[in-house]
Amino acid sequence: MPITFQAPATLLKTIATQAKAQRLAANLTRRTLAEKSGVAEASIKRFETTGQISFHSLLKLAFALNCMDDFNRLFAEKPPQTITDLQTTQRQRGSL
Protein backbone atom coordinates (compact mmCIF):
# COMPACT_ATOMS: atom_id res chain seq x y z
CA MET A 1 0.00 0.00 0.00
CA PRO A 2 1.57 3.33 -1.00
CA ILE A 3 2.06 5.89 1.73
CA THR A 4 1.35 9.50 0.90
CA PHE A 5 1.72 12.47 3.17
CA GLN A 6 -0.25 15.68 2.78
CA ALA A 7 -0.36 18.66 5.07
CA PRO A 8 -3.84 19.22 6.53
CA ALA A 9 -4.39 22.38 4.45
CA THR A 10 -3.44 20.55 1.27
CA LEU A 11 -5.72 17.63 2.12
CA LEU A 12 -8.63 20.01 2.78
CA LYS A 13 -8.22 21.52 -0.68
CA THR A 14 -7.87 18.09 -2.28
CA ILE A 15 -11.08 16.87 -0.66
CA ALA A 16 -12.88 20.06 -1.71
CA THR A 17 -11.69 19.63 -5.31
CA GLN A 18 -12.85 16.01 -5.34
CA ALA A 19 -16.23 16.95 -3.86
CA LYS A 20 -16.70 19.61 -6.51
CA ALA A 21 -15.82 17.07 -9.21
CA GLN A 22 -18.42 14.67 -7.76
CA ARG A 23 -21.02 17.44 -7.74
CA LEU A 24 -20.32 18.32 -11.37
CA ALA A 25 -20.29 14.64 -12.41
CA ALA A 26 -23.75 14.31 -10.84
CA ASN A 27 -24.78 17.35 -12.90
CA LEU A 28 -25.74 19.31 -9.77
CA THR A 29 -25.46 23.04 -9.26
CA ARG A 30 -24.43 24.34 -5.86
CA ARG A 31 -28.04 25.35 -5.33
CA THR A 32 -29.43 21.89 -6.11
CA LEU A 33 -26.78 20.24 -3.92
CA ALA A 34 -27.70 22.65 -1.13
CA GLU A 35 -31.35 21.67 -1.44
CA LYS A 36 -30.52 17.97 -1.61
CA SER A 37 -28.06 18.01 1.31
CA GLY A 38 -29.44 20.66 3.63
CA VAL A 39 -26.11 22.52 3.57
CA ALA A 40 -26.28 26.23 2.76
CA GLU A 41 -25.22 27.16 -0.75
CA ALA A 42 -22.76 29.70 0.68
CA SER A 43 -21.15 26.94 2.77
CA ILE A 44 -20.75 24.78 -0.33
CA LYS A 45 -19.14 27.69 -2.20
CA ARG A 46 -16.76 28.37 0.71
CA PHE A 47 -15.89 24.67 0.90
CA GLU A 48 -15.20 24.38 -2.81
CA THR A 49 -13.00 27.49 -2.87
CA THR A 50 -11.17 27.24 0.47
CA GLY A 51 -11.67 23.69 1.74
CA GLN A 52 -13.25 25.00 4.96
CA ILE A 53 -16.44 23.26 6.16
CA SER A 54 -17.81 21.77 9.36
CA PHE A 55 -17.50 18.02 9.66
CA HIS A 56 -21.28 17.70 10.01
CA SER A 57 -21.82 19.58 6.75
CA LEU A 58 -19.13 17.52 5.05
CA LEU A 59 -20.98 14.35 6.04
CA LYS A 60 -24.23 15.77 4.68
CA LEU A 61 -22.56 16.56 1.36
CA ALA A 62 -20.97 13.11 1.22
CA PHE A 63 -24.36 11.53 1.84
CA ALA A 64 -26.00 13.62 -0.88
CA LEU A 65 -23.20 12.73 -3.31
CA ASN A 66 -23.30 9.02 -2.36
CA CYS A 67 -19.75 9.03 -0.92
CA MET A 68 -20.39 7.91 2.66
CA ASP A 69 -18.41 4.66 2.36
CA ASP A 70 -15.18 6.62 2.35
CA PHE A 71 -15.82 7.80 5.91
CA ASN A 72 -16.15 4.25 7.24
CA ARG A 73 -12.41 3.77 6.77
CA LEU A 74 -11.39 7.06 8.39
CA PHE A 75 -10.46 5.72 11.84
CA ALA A 76 -10.93 2.01 11.19
CA GLU A 77 -8.93 -0.38 13.31
CA LYS A 78 -5.74 -1.37 11.58
CA PRO A 79 -5.07 -5.11 11.18
CA PRO A 80 -2.14 -6.52 13.15
CA GLN A 81 1.18 -6.45 11.30
CA THR A 82 3.29 -8.66 13.57
CA ILE A 83 2.85 -11.48 16.08
CA THR A 84 3.60 -8.96 18.83
CA ASP A 85 0.64 -6.91 17.64
CA LEU A 86 -1.57 -9.98 18.01
CA GLN A 87 -0.35 -10.61 21.55
CA THR A 88 -0.76 -7.01 22.70
CA THR A 89 -4.00 -6.23 24.49
CA GLN A 90 -5.96 -3.22 23.37
CA ARG A 91 -5.56 -0.09 25.49
CA GLN A 92 -8.72 1.29 27.03
CA ARG A 93 -7.34 4.80 27.60
CA GLY A 94 -4.28 6.87 26.89
CA SER A 95 -1.51 7.88 29.27
CA LEU A 96 1.11 10.58 29.40
pLDDT in tens, 11-56: 999 999 999 999 999 999 999 999 999 999 999 999 999 999 999 9
Domain that holds residue 15: 8-65
Give the Å distances, CA to CA, from 16 to 20, 36, 87.
6, 18, 40
Give the CA radius of gyration of the chain: 18
Query: Residue 73: its pLDDT value, please?
Result: 79
pLDDT band at 94 (very low <50, low <70, confident <90, very high): low
Nearest to 60 by CA among 13, 7, 19, 29: 19
pLDDT band at 2 (very low <50, low <70, confident <90, very high): low
Q: Is residue 54 part of a domain?
A: yes
Amino acid at 83: I
Q: Is residue 36 part of a domain?
A: yes
Domain with residue 39: its CATH number is: 1.10.260.40
Number of domains in the chain: 1
Q: Is residue 84 part of a domain?
A: no
Q: Is residue 55 part of a domain?
A: yes
Query: Residue 1: its pLDDT value, please?
Result: 46
